[in-house]
Structure 1
């Protein structure tokens, strides 16, 4: 960088000589019949720095790392006075400095001085500029002060005009430099109960962490202002500022982090950190047991998860440990395997097809071992069956325009009430009218309906009077005339008043795909009605 600047300055000096020679020749030609008069010295303002580029404005802040230098050159001509002032704590450098140089100490000259009348200076910054009391970036200032007999200006992205003071034209230019400190890595480690691990910088400290226990690692580095990091914990890589890690192997847990400045507009650097304290993963003292529900996956796999990791086991041992019933009848198990991407999980497949309304019960007698030697406990659990939900159970709401009143309802506002209330301890959409139309369109909760697919709509309804006429439509093309897309309480007799009743109806899509369908709630009779837990799912009930 420095050698490039020297070459640039040499070229500028050579150009200056050429311009001077041409000027002299022109003057000699114009004055050939007169006595020669020495021309006035030409005045001009120009400067350059080693941080300059085509998009650089000298009002911008230069950004450098600690113990880096910036070269400044005054290319102005005709100055009466000229001088540079640098911050206290910075140093002038002298000599040819190659790009491979790391330690600039041998190049320091006039240590402690802050003023120079050299045309070109190199300034070494040995202190970080840090932050102000209010948390804003602090900067160092390098000042160039020139005076001229003639008015001058600097032409560039940040054009600057000289100011007339004390019979001279003054160019007072500040250059701003932010110096980034060396990165000093700081991390914090917490157990899952919130307890912080102290003395992690002490290499004589050892923490015993039980197998399967979670640890939270936090990057709290501020010195050096890094903007990225790379954790390596137990052989796994993470980039988040905070990492929740579950211990998966017995023995020493290795923890390293590389803190970085990666932004291309910042001085790039990195700092490697290896945790001095030792983390020793020991066998768990907790029972090895089921950690959640037994679930059916979309492909009809039955998945169960434990609070630890299973050792590898044979297919025969797996089948012998489990039994399954479907609607009270023993089912044949085709396979029981450990999930090789998550040793805490076991997957079970049956020979027969199962459906979302089946009652599937899994019984495990226990005995399969964890990788830390614990024996797993048994259980009997009803499987949580898979549902392909297009719309989760919800309370129709006006908030966020999920549901909006139809224009006819708005025009009939004096005869209608539709609002969110609490009925029997549940949040609901309450609807009642005295006359005229009442319709709410769920345009904020849209879904797609595909040809050849069956759908199930479920909801809970509270009726206060024995009135019919509550309808739910699926807003398809010509929905208003198609009886297949509507639920109507007229079709149900013997409804109970003032209690929650659960309804469902099935709609088979037999026409072209419909994208962006939505629910319509409508009162034919007056009501009142309250509705909650309205949902839509792909129909997957066992055929009758």
Structure 2
């Protein structure tokens, strides 16, 4: 929190306090009203339970003045340092809620909105001129300035953790939670006291105290792969420039014991090619360290067996195995992986199952912004063109992937549909051939003969038949384009010349690869 304690201000406040500590300054004929606080010029007054703040009455000519505080908060007697941690030692007149001192120091012990009230009485009318002008009011005897300072007091943070396994909430206690290796435990942050806005989960090995996993999610799904006993710790925290910092910790008392899995050790996802041509396999358990293993795998590229240079667990996540090949592979290649089974093992002593000719999903890097060209930003990258005369919407009614798609409706009343990605430009390198892809869904009853994708501002058209597209399902359209000089800051435009209802999603641009 950006706080504000300038030494000069406190010297000034302390000086005021010392000047009035032992004697009362008699009112003069001159009257004026003013005050100062340790919050300085902050627009709102914010502190936390157990902290103190200072308030000084700078008024002149008051015939009477009082400070009052809410019950449960306390007046302190200085001098007090911000380094003092046991502030209760400075409490004076415990239980009093009214003071006639010119400067007060208030220890806030109650959370929530608290008030510090200053009442001054004058013989003459005065006004305080700040962001607003506040004038005194006549009570029949004196002119009264009644001011309440509202202070938002943040409570101390109390972290509250909850644990679920297999959808069942685990009762807190000393009972051990037995977890099969390769499964996840859900940890839920239920903290509210003290208004925390961040958290960190730690999973520690009980024997070694090593942190084996962590997460900042409010609902953290944490996998347990290695055998052993663990405990979970939640640290809830409060951070920000305009709020007081704070932390609270909750250790779930239940030990978490990981036991061998009863499930077969097998692939859980597609085998994928990474950008550097690594083939990555994902399993439902963590591999023990091993060396060699190349002879256990067979990789075929377009039916031909390729040499494997290495097989090893991915260092950051040993549930994944990485295969490196001696030869280059290309995007159009058909690549398959087979595994003979046996020999390798998981950390919970399982052996992986054999498999044959599993296809590899080849790497394809989209040069477009996936959010803008998948409409997941609600269509912020696209706009209807000035001469569009169709109904255009970014909708969650139907999507190929994600939540959003582009919906275009053209009927007899509309001259035509035109929408372009004006706010999501992209660039192409001259001389390179690119694949343009997008997904289209044509509703029943559509009679439009075609749809066109345009590259602007070149006005290069890519015509596509709509008549031959199946109705009621997503299909992918692919076309090629060889970039020319100056193909920077390009955008797409869709044109719908006939009647019907169309959905579009997942626009994709990638460089075309060809095996030499």
TM-score above 0.5, yes or no: yes
1:87-102 matches, within 5 Å, as 87-94=70-77, 96-102=79-85
For the pair 1:215 / 2:185, whether they are aligned, the reply is yes
Residues 432 and 542 of structure 1: is their aligned pair in 2 closer, same or farther, counting only changes over 3 Å? farther
Distance 1:45 1:473, change over 3 A: closer
Matched residue pairs, number?
481
* Residue aligning to 1:256: 233
Deviation at 1:360, TM superposition (A): 1.8
What residue in structure 2 maps to residue 301 of structure 1?
Answer: 278
Matches within 5 A, 1:40-439: 41-53=28-40, 55-56=41-42, 60-61=44-45, 63-94=46-77, 96-126=79-109, 128-130=110-112, 138-139=113-114, 141-157=115-131, 159-191=133-165, 193-199=166-172, 202=173, 204-234=174-204, 235=211, 236-315=213-292, 317=293, 319-367=294-342, 368-380=344-356, 381-390=358-367, 404=384, 407=387, 410=389
Q: Distance in 2 between the 1:3 and 1:75 partners?
A: 14
1:448 corresponds to: 427
Aligned-pair distance for 1:375?
Answer: 0.6
Residue 449 of structure 1 contacts residue 517 of structure 1 at CA under 8 Å; is this kept in 2? Answer: no
Aligned equivalents of 2:56 and 2:381: distance in 1?
63
* Structure 1 unpaired stretches of 5+: 21-39, 131-137, 414-419, 490-494
SS in 2 for 1:298: coil
Contact 2:226 2:286 in 1 (8 A): no
1:245-273 deviation digits (Å, cap 9, x = unpaired) = 22243222243333333224333333343
Return the TM-score normalized by structure 2.
Answer: 0.76
Relative to structure 1, the CA distance from residue 379 to residue 101 in structure 2 (aligned partners, 3 Å threshold; closer, same or farther) is same
Q: What residue number does 1:135 align with?
A: none
Determine the structure 2 residue equivalent to 1:5: 13
Q: Deviations over 1:36-57 (max 9, x none)?
A: xxxx93233445455242x146
Match of 2:208 in 1: none
Q: Give me the whole-angstrom Cα distance separating, in 1, the residues matched to 2:239 and 2:411.
A: 61
Cα contact 1:219–1:241 (8 A) shared by 2: yes
- Alpha-carbon distance change, 156 to 290 in structure 1, aligned in 2, over 3 angstroms: same
Shift of 1:529: 11
Contact 1:43 1:148 in 2 (8 A): no
With normalisation by structure 1, the TM-score equals 0.72
Shift of 1:382: 1.5
In the aligned structure 2, how far is the partner of 1:540 from the partner of 1:377? 36
Cα deviation digits, residues 353-381 of structure 1 (max 9, x gap):
33333322211112221122111111121
- Report the more deviating stretch, 4-13 or 354-363: 4-13
Identify the residue that residue 29 of structure 1 maps to in structure 2.
none
Kept after mapping to 2: 8 A contact 1:324/1:362: yes
**How many angstroms apart in 2 are the aligned matches of 1:394 and 1:123?**
56
Counterpart CA distance in 2 for 1:261 and 1:502 is 47
Quote the offset at 1:306 in angstroms: 0.5
Distance in 2 (CA, whole Å) between partners of 1:534 and 1:527 is 23
After superposition, give the CA deviation of every residue in 1:464-505 in whole Å (9 maximum; x if it has no partner).
9xx99857454256546xxxx64577xxxxx98989998754
Matching of residues 476-487 of structure 1 within 5 Å: 479=459, 486-487=462-463
Higher helix share: 1
| Aligned-partner Cα distance in 2 for 1:363–1:67 | 65
8 Å Cα contact 1:506-1:539 kept in structure 2: no
Please tell me whether Structure 1 or Structure 2 has the larger radius of gyration of its CA atoms: 1
> Cα distance 1:155–1:12, how it changes in 2: closer, same or farther (>3 A)?
farther
